Structure 1
């Protein structure tokens, strides 16, 4: 053992013994031994049979019997935190701690958990995130008091049908696993408020998800879905729906029933059309249709007058839709990387805008009316065919970030230095021979 480790070990030992003795003397029901670098649990811990809360997180515990065996006598425990240790095994006897309501085994090195966890029928919260689990036992279906179950960032390829028994569950997190399917029985979890299935390998989800009418947040992004069921239109309590980065060519008309939606993300699919019914989602504040294959978007979206952010980046739009002029609450508009050659004058009427991105189009001029957007903080005109810096930019006195890179500029005007809020100016890949002295206080990006 290195001398530094020995010092830490002796210090931790003294702190641990002192806290245990204080707990014995005072009869305290809570003991915090977290973040002490412990690699074993002291024998004296087994004497604290009155404990209800024990925190052993962020130590160096392994699953050796001698290091954890003294916990077996603590049958009054309701909260046990063993997170952020080095556990590779959970002992079977943990299933004897039947008073537990909160068990945290997250951030360990577990590849399996024992069937005996199914005996912990008082559990309200079970956290197994960030381990190396490839499966969880069927017996988890016995935990019918469970409200929160966190299994994110494991290596699960399936979850048991028995999870459908957890009918008071409100939060189920299966983010970043290797699931290829989820059971129909998940449709029984009618108390669920949040379901996260992001970054798995799902190609379909069951129709039964339409039964989860209490859901407010559903994340199915980052899978391989080619279709989503019509039944999702029954989830009328949803406020957040993320279907980004799948392989969807169409989405069902029934999504227009989700009139409480605040955020809808359909980014990174293969959509060539979006349904007219999305115009019924009048509570939407954020709509992301980026990186699809849209050449037009329906006029009905002009009804979404509460939108503050609209992203249409990376599609095939050749014109800015006229209905955009109705969205006067917009603060963030992304029209970058389309096929626009003209920006309409009326875009200057969206005076709430703080962020406007017109990069990667075929623009050679931009209209003077954009000088009315005096609340703009960020403006990106990158990757167009501009040959001059528009004079109306001098009106945008709130601007902090301006991107004019990848154009055909030969001169930067002196007056640009009068934009005193400007902190970042990107002029890369133009044809400039000099920049004016007035820009000396601005962070210039000039090099390629």
Structure 2
């Protein structure tokens, strides 16, 4: 089409000349090539709306302030070391992806991009973020993952339009209380691989959140308010130091996956049996000595992983779990080495590993 220049993954090392009048271009897609620089004319395309340059070798950009119609700029996976300041003068910009570069800081002026809806600056070399970022109150998604950020201020609570937030793989030692003000978080909240020792009770206010990842931190317990996350479908808590799970976990009736491996649990609350939507329960590598009889209420459970705990017996009622397809008991030492419950499960086609 005359209004497009598309050659993704074509092995290009230089930008080709457009076939017609470049001023008519609305979309350029040259992702996954080997471009090291862009000609100046790219920054003077008055009708360009979408510029995709992911996966090239760009170290710098020309002045882009002439792209007055640009709505989406994709620059993931390049070699940029500086934030392209001319981007701050793009009035129509809605999407800015700079993931996987080597940018060391964001400008305070980033707050000028008031129309921005999607911002990804993960996988860079950031140690902090400017106050201006928290003025982008129209953001629907924000990715700051895989940096070395040590602090997120309470002003994050201004971003009330966020549906997705990724703060994983940083150096955060606390979660701000204002995280609970992000009432529109629905898709996911990634907080994995940081240095938290606790999470605020305000987290329980995220009543629309469907995916929460708190893995690989230093959590020793969870607030009872975790039971307020009633829309959760998946909860990942592995790689912490949890000694117990609050009874309120049983309120998460929409939960389908609960990942608790690599903690210090010795038991489970009886309310786990109230998780009527649960399909997968992963309890590997804990110190659990017994299972609550209420597990027999998990009528939709298909996978139960109990590897490397301290179990001596298995509730006979597990044989009545109608959907169970796999039970992994390896590296436990049952007093009865060949309990009837396991024969019953195997007999109806459940894979039992012991």
Partner of 1:248: 172
Aligned partner of 2:11 in structure 1 is: 60
Cα distance change of structure 1 residues 390 and 320 upon mapping to structure 2, 3 Å threshold: same
Instruction: Choose the corresponding residue for 1:233, options 154, 157, 170.
Output: 157
Residues 140-179 of structure 1 aligned to structure 2 (within 5 Å): 140-179=87-126
Give a deviation string over 1:35-88, Cα, whole Å, max 9, x none: xxxxxxxxxxxxxxxx3223233323222xxx7346585332222333332222
For residues 7-86 of structure 1, the aligned pairs below 5 Å read: 30=1, 51-63=2-14, 68-69=16-17, 73-86=21-34
Kept in 2: contact 1:403–1:425 (CA 8 A): yes
1:188 Cα offset (Å): 4.8
SS of the counterpart of 1:54?
strand
1:192 corresponds to 2:152: no
Distance 1:401 1:101, change over 3 A: same
| 1-structure distance, mates of 2:228, 2:194 | 24
Name the CA shift for 1:168/1:267 in 2 (closer, same or farther; >3 Å): closer
Alignment match, 2:294: 369
Contact kept in structure 2, 1:72 and 1:94, CA below 8 Å:
no
Rounded Cα–Cα distance in structure 2 between residues aligned with 1:137 and 1:284: 33
Residue 113 of structure 1 aligns with which residue?
61
Structure 2 counterpart SS, 1:394: helix
C-alpha separation in 2, matches of 1:136 and 1:266: 25
Greater Rg over alpha carbons, structure: 1
Query: Which of 331, 343, 348 is 1:414 aligned to?
Result: 343
More helix, by proportion: 1
The TM-score, its normalising length taken from structure 2, stands at 0.84
- 1:181, 1:157 → 2: CA distance? 9
The number of residue pairs the alignment matches comes to 349
- Given that residues 248 and 271 in structure 2 are in contact (C-alpha distance below 8 angstroms), is that contact kept between their aligned partners in structure 1? no
Partner of 2:74: 127
Residue 44 of structure 1 is matched in structure 2 by: none
Structure 1 gap ranges (5+)? 1-29, 31-50, 203-224, 428-448
For residues 287 and 59 of structure 1, the distance between their equivalents in structure 2, rounded to whole angstroms, comes to 38
Report 1 or 2 for greater relative contact order, CA contacts < 8 Å, sequence distance ≥ 6: 2
Q: 1:376, CA displacement in angstroms? A: 0.7
CA contact (8 A) 1:396 1:419 kept: no
- Work out whether residues 246 and 269 of structure 2, in 8 Å CA contact, stay in contact via their aligned partners in 1: no
CA shift for structure 1 position 377: 0.7
- Equivalent residue number for residue 301 of structure 1: 226
Classify the secondary structure of the residue corresponding to 1:108: coil
Task: State the shift of 1:382 in Å.
Answer: 0.8
